[in-house]
Amino acid sequence: MRDPAGLMEFGKKHSQVHLDVPGLCPLCLERYVDGREGGAKTPLVEEVVDGVKTGKWICPDGGRPYAKQFIEDTGGITGAIVGPIIPFP
């Protein structure tokens, strides 16, 4: 998946998803099956935080989730919604 707005981290193919079991990355496999650019059978790796395994599996080609990128890069969700909120009757 390509991000024309530039929110996605440079060099990453898609947003990171935590999975509970090892195997192939579903997003990378979907790219491979569809024949899209960059598709491959990418094996998941076990996530390690501060030297401790979390029990979750991630794709080495995936970046942080979009929401986490936005919050960490901007410091909050202020400004995420632009424009007036119109109530429905």
pLDDT tens sequence across 22-78:
988 888 877 666 665 555 678 899 988 889 999 999 988 888 887 777 777 777 666
Instruction: Give pLDDT, residue 12.
Output: 82
pTM, two decimal places: 0.60
Instruction: Give pLDDT, residue 57.
Output: 93
Instruction: Give pLDDT, residue 14.
Output: 81
| Neighbouring residues of 23: CB distance < 8 A, sequence distance ≥ 6 | 43, 44, 57
